[in-house]
Amino acid sequence: MAAERAPLSAGRLALWTAVLLAVLACALVLGAALGAGDVSLSDFFGPDSSRRTILLEVRLPRVLLAAVLGSALCVAGISFQALLRNPLADPYVLGVSGGASIGGVVALLLGFGIGEGIFDRIAVPAFAFGGALGALVLIEWIATVGGRLTVYTLLLTGAIFNAFSAALLYFIQSLASLEQLHAIVFYLMGQVPVFGYRVLGGLALASFLAALALFSMARDFNALSLGEEGALQLGVDVERIKRRTFLLGSLLTGLSVSVAGLVGFVGLVVPHLLRLLLGPDHRLLLPAGFFGGAAFLVLADLFARTITAPNELPVGVVTALVGGPFFLYLLRSRGGRRGNF
């Protein structure tokens, strides 16, 4: 692929952005059109107001939220892969997800998340986001050595914090009652909830702004792929970039885990797929990931909603079941040969 070496032309950026936007649009339409029951898009215009309610208040918010979370996870994944210069990095590798899960599970243990009030609905994500922020501050503090955020310390701290969180979660689960256990397990498996449009709008805005800030660093990510020394020589303020990437990526991850639990592989498989298609230029990769990740999670959630209807599957199960083998396939068939991984 010679294109990888060629400078990014505005035309190529526009073309691929348009293609992925179209893919996302198709995914959104499919997601809104199909469901476990027989409500479909035409019900929007139909005479039956109850079917319109199901479409607009139950299905559509969930489809849109899946898009928001998918793009957040994918952009976070691409950014962490750039930051750590490690193809195995995913949004969960730096430990923030562990903090978020602990926060969420503690909220469930305290009995939030099932009541009628607005606070009950928001408490679990709020606690989880608090946990994510706590983990973020802690990990950054530990990984900062002599005023510098070193990538290896960061990675190690994240891995150890994740192992610690997992142990803490098992500890909490072993104390929980059977009913609580049910709620905790479903929360951790990853589930796209149904939120009202106001909450949805807030989440979308926050994740869009964080993604935009990451886009603005795309050039620096490209420089960073030469190694920190190389990037420094190109005039990149490496320390600032690393810190901002860690913060913004962690915010996106924390936001997504708080709302939907641990939905795996979106931040790993989609970035690699796009890298194979588009090459490693982050100026193209990040916007492509923004739309591609959204489309992927919308489709995965569509599967989760419909494939075993009237049952539902946790969407995290779908992304991992599809994502895992697909990732291995990519690794064997193309990446291995080209040494791209």
Residues that bind another protein (CB under 8 A): 35-39, 49-51, 53-54, 57-59, 111, 113-116, 124, 177-179, 182-183, 186, 191, 193-194, 305, 308-314
Q: Which residue lies nearer to another protein by CB, 37 or 324?
A: 37
3-state secondary structure of 297: helix
How far does Cα 214 stand from its chain's mean position?
Answer: 14
Q: Which residue lies nearer to another protein by CB, 63 or 76?
A: 63
CB of 93 to another protein, least distance (A): 27
**How many residues make up the chain in this entry?**
341
Residue reference for tokens 């195995």: 88
Bridge partners (DSSP) of residue 149 are 144
CB of 194 to another protein, least distance (A): 7
3-state secondary structure of 62: helix
CB of 128 to another protein, least distance (A): 13
CB of 300 to another protein, least distance (A): 15
Q: Which residue lies nearer to another protein by CB, 303 or 341?
A: 303
Report in angstroms the alpha-carbon separations of 32 from 39, 60, 62, 211: 9, 6, 9, 25
CB of 130 to another protein, least distance (A): 19
Q: Which two tokens stand for residue 333?
A: 């068939």
CB of 182 to another protein, least distance (A): 6
Per-residue DSSP letter, 41: G
CB 17 within 8 A of CB 290: no
**b/e burial code for range 193-202 (CB count within 10 A of at least 16 → b):** eebeeebbee
Q: Which residue lies nearer to another protein by CB, 193 or 280?
A: 193
CB of 58 to another protein, least distance (A): 5
Backbone angles phi, psi at 212, to 5 degrees: -60, -40
Distance (Å, whole) CA 53 – CA 39: 10
Q: Which two tokens stand for residue 118?
A: 């607005």
CB of 313 to another protein, least distance (A): 7
Q: Which two tokens stand for residue 104?
A: 């969420």
Q: Which residue lies nearer to another protein by CB, 4 or 57?
A: 57
Q: Which residue lies nearer to another protein by CB, 287 or 314?
A: 314
Q: Which of 98, 171, 105, 187 is nearest to 134 (CA)?
A: 98
Q: Which residue lies nearer to another protein by CB, 98 or 314?
A: 314
CB 259 within 8 A of CB 187: no
| Other beta carbons less than 10 A from residue 240's beta carbon | 12
Q: Which residue lies nearer to another protein by CB, 49 or 229?
A: 49
Distance (Å, whole) CA 133 – CA 153: 19
CB of 100 to another protein, least distance (A): 17
Half-sphere exposure of 217 (CA within 13 A, CB side): 28
Q: Which residue lies nearer to another protein by CB, 18 or 58?
A: 58
| Other beta carbons less than 10 A from residue 314's beta carbon | 21
